[in-house]
Amino acid sequence: MNNTLKFRVNGDDVEVAVPPMARLLDVLRETLGLTGTKEGCGEGECGACSVLVDGVLVNSCLVPVAQVQGGEVLTIEGVALHGAGAGAGAAATPPALHPIQSAFLQCGGAQCGICTPGMVMATVAFLQDSQKGTVTEESIREALSGNLCRCTGYVKIVDAVLAASQGAKP
C-alpha cells in the first residue's frame, strides 16, 4: 500500500515509499529519522509535533503524508540552518542557533524541552507573519495557544518570543 512521495524537508528533496495515510509525524521521525518533532497527544491538542508545511504551521500528527506531496516541510532540525550565521557550511560544527532558539535559551523558555521544538516552530510561523513592532504579549499568547507547556507557565516563553521579535528579523 506504499506510495512513492516526493517533497522537500528542511531544503532537501526527499523521496519516501510510505502508506499515503501515514502521519507526517511518523514519516519525519521514523522514515527520515528527524526525531526533533515530538508527539505529545496524537490529537492536535498539545502542539509538540508542530512543523511548517509550505510556510504554514500545522500539527504533523494530523497530516497524512500524502497531503505534503510536492510541498516544503520545515522541522526543528532545519531552523538553525535558516538562522543568522548559517550557511558557513562547516559540517563539523552545527550551525549557530537561530535567533529564536537563542532567545529561548537566554530567557529560560525551555525546561523539560519536550514542547520546545513545537514552541519554536509556532514562533517561527508567528514572527514570519508579523510586522516588526506589532508583536504584543497578547498576540504571542494567541499564536502559541495551540502549544501546551506544563513546565514554564509560559512567562519565559513569552519573554523569549518578545525578545526574538525585537531582534533582527530572520
Partner 1 sequence: MRGHTAELEFLSPTTLDDALEHFARGAACSKPARAFAGGTDLMVQLGARPVDVSQGPFVNLSCLAELKTIDVREDAVVLGALTTYAQACAHPVVAAEFPALCLAARATGAPAIQNRGTFAGNIANSSPAADSPPVLMALDASYELTSARGRRFVHADAFHLGYKKTELAPDELLTRIFIPRRNSLETEWRMGYRKVGTRRAQAISKVAFAGALRTRGGMIIDVRLCYASIAPVPLRVRAVENFLRGKPTSASGTGATETDAQAAVALLRSLLCPIDDVRSTADYRKEIACRLLADFLLSESEERSPT
Partner 2 sequence: MQVTQKARVAREGTEVGRDATRKEGAAKLRGEARYVDDVRLPNMIFGVTVRSQVPRGRLCGLTFPQDAGIPWEEFVVVTAADIPGRNAVPLLVDDQPFLAFNIVAHREEPLCLLAHANRALLERARDAVIAHIEPLPAVLTLDEALSGNEIISGSNNDLKSILMEKGDVEGAFSKAGSDPSLTLVEGSYETEAQEQLYIETNGMIASADASTGDVTVQGSMQCPYYIHGALMAAFGFQPGAEDSRARVIQCETGGGFGGKEEYPSLLAVHAALLARKAGRPVKMIYDRGEDMAATTKRHPSRTKHRTLVDGDGKLVAMDVEFWLDGGAYATLSAVVLSRGSLHASGPYECPNVRIRSRALATSHPPHGAFRGFGAPQSLFAIERHMDVVAKACALTPQELRQRNVLRRGSTTASGQKIKEDVALDVLMRMAHEDIRFDERAREYAAHNASPAGLRTRKGLGAATFFHGAGFTGSGEKNLASVAAVDIAPCGSLRILVASTEMGQGAHTILAQMAADAADTEVDAAFVATPDTAHVPDSGPTVASRTTMIVGGLVEKAARALRAELDAGGFLSAGTHADADSFRKAALAAAAQRNVAPEALRQECQYVPPSGLIWDDKTYRGDAYPTFAWACYAAAVSVDLLTYEVTVEAFSAVQDIGKVINPLFAAGQVEGGVVQAIGYALSEKVAWKNGVMSNARLTNYIIPTALDVPRISVRFFEHPKGTPEAQTPKGIGELPMDGVAPALAGALEDALGVSFTRIPILPEDIFQALQAKGNTP
Contact region with partner 1 (CB under 8 A), list: 42-50, 77-85, 94-102, 155-163: 42-50
The yes or no reply on residue 143 touching partner 1 (CB under 8 A) is yes
Do the beta carbons of residue 3 and residue 19 sit within 8 Å? yes
Query: Using CB under 8 A as the criterion, what x/- string covers residues 98-137 for binding partner 1?
Result: ------------------------x--xx-----------
Q: Does 162 bind partner 1 (CB under 8 A)?
A: no
Q: Which of 26, 109, 135, 157 binds partner 1 (CB under 8 A)?
A: 26
DSSP per-residue codes, 40-76: S-SSSSS-TTEEEETTEEEEGGG-BGGGGTT-EEE-H
| Residues 63 and 53 sit within 8 Å (Cβ to Cβ) | yes
Among residue numbers 49 through 78, which ones bind partner 1 (CB under 8 A)? 50, 56-59, 61-64, 66-67, 69
Q: Which helix (H) or strand (E) holds 16?
A: strand 12-18
Q: All 3 cell numbers of residue 98?
A: 537561530
